[in-house]
Structure 1
């Protein structure tokens, strides 16, 4: 189980520091229903990651993800595809990054975030975790690593739970500051939001490129062994 956790920690950390969800929860905490919206968004996020990971774990055993504790060929092929996607997506994002970070623009949907109902806030957290083109490949890759390690079911579930917990730290940090930070919380969260907005594209581009190369290396090891 230790080796598996070593494999998935990088993916979890990349999901955790994904700037857009962090900006989204900070904006939600600034709404009049911040004490409701923040936890709702976080719960949706956790369920989204858990559901996507659980689906991958459910697929892995029947599809023979592991043979004698060695990942199956299709796992190597999956990591190859995910690795190529992340490398190309990261390179594209880096090329498109603003030359001046102060000119970075947030997605238009964030402008209406203060008008979202609680149900939509929950759905937003779910979507940014499970359907987002940046986070979904990382979660799938992590779950594929867990499912192909030949672990007992209990250890697979525990490994996925640890992945989800670490991947949620990026949201738990601003939520904790908001709930416990008192008067200074607004200033602190505002500074975090501004930094994340300026460096969103560059941070994710670098992470995707590095993790994509790791997946490509993993896939080559699986497919050639």
Structure 2
């Protein structure tokens, strides 16, 4: 069981450290009714993660079970395909040059760097409600292709291991908890220390907006190579 936890851990962390849901959760925590909105977003995120990985694990259960006595080429082909998909997404996200900020771009007085501008849909989060926050959590967790690819990697590991229902359920819970950590931690800290966390949250928002593309590309490259390596090892 511990070896399977170790196998799904990287995929859960890959979902967890994705910049966009962290940025959205920070924006929600800086909005009016931040406590209710933060809890709703976290609930939607966890439910979306759990739903995707559960469905994919059930589908993976129809594949040949993993065996230490021989290869598992079906799972290997799927892992290779997922790995290549992640590398393609990394290539699409990569931009070799950055456009220079316009003359009216706001500059951070502390760092001298331009302050990243939020897209319109992110700016609208300032007026969000708990129901919309719940829906946003579900959407960001379940409709993100990168999250689906990571969940598929974990699902292939779980679904082809020949485990009983209880062990499968436990691994799914562990995956969901790991994949929700970087949303749960800021929400939990904000609930406990609403005043003291406001400034760090704003600083985190700016840093993530500035480095969003770099983080995403690195994650996609690392996990794409990881899945390709696992796929090759399955033959």
Normalising by structure 2, we get a TM-score of 0.87
Distance 1:99 1:177 in 2: 36
Match of 1:212 in 2: 224
Match of 1:17 in 2: 17
Match of 1:66 in 2: 65
Q: 1:169 aligns with which of 181, 185, 188?
A: 181
Tell me if the contact between 1:28 and 1:38 (Cα under 8 Å) persists in the aligned partners: yes
Q: 1:157 aligns with which of 169, 189, 196?
A: 169
How do 1:175-194 residues align onto structure 2 when only pairs under 5 Å count?
Answer: 175-194=187-206
TM-superposed deviation, 1:105: 4.8
Match of 2:57 in 1: 57
Distance 1:208 1:54 in 2: 22
- Residue 33 in structure 1 maps to residue 36 in structure 2: no
Cα deviations across residues 117-173 of structure 1 (Å, max 9, x unaligned)?
322211110011111122221112111111112222211111111111011110111
Q: Tell me the SS of whatever aligns to 2:56.
A: helix
Unpaired runs of at least 5, structure 1? none
Distance 1:156 1:182 in 2: 37
Tell me if the contact between 2:115 and 2:206 (Cα under 8 Å) persists in the aligned partners: no
Tell me if the contact between 1:49 and 1:129 (Cα under 8 Å) persists in the aligned partners: yes
Tell me if the contact between 1:64 and 1:72 (Cα under 8 Å) persists in the aligned partners: no
Q: 2:213 aligns with which of 177, 201, 211?
A: 201
TM-superposed deviation, 1:4: 1.3
Tell me if the contact between 1:97 and 1:202 (Cα under 8 Å) persists in the aligned partners: no
Which structure has the larger Rg over C-alpha atoms? Answer: 2
Q: Tell me the SS of whatever aligns to 1:151.
A: coil
Match of 1:90 in 2: 90
Q: Tell me the SS of whatever aligns to 1:66.
A: coil
Larger % of helix: which? 1
Q: Closer, same or farther in 2 for the Cα pair 1:103/1:33, shift >3 Å?
A: closer
Unpaired runs of at least 5, structure 2? 101-112
Instruction: Write out the 4+ residue segments of structure 1 that deviate beyond 6 Å after TM superposition.
Output: none
Normalising by structure 1, we get a TM-score of 0.90
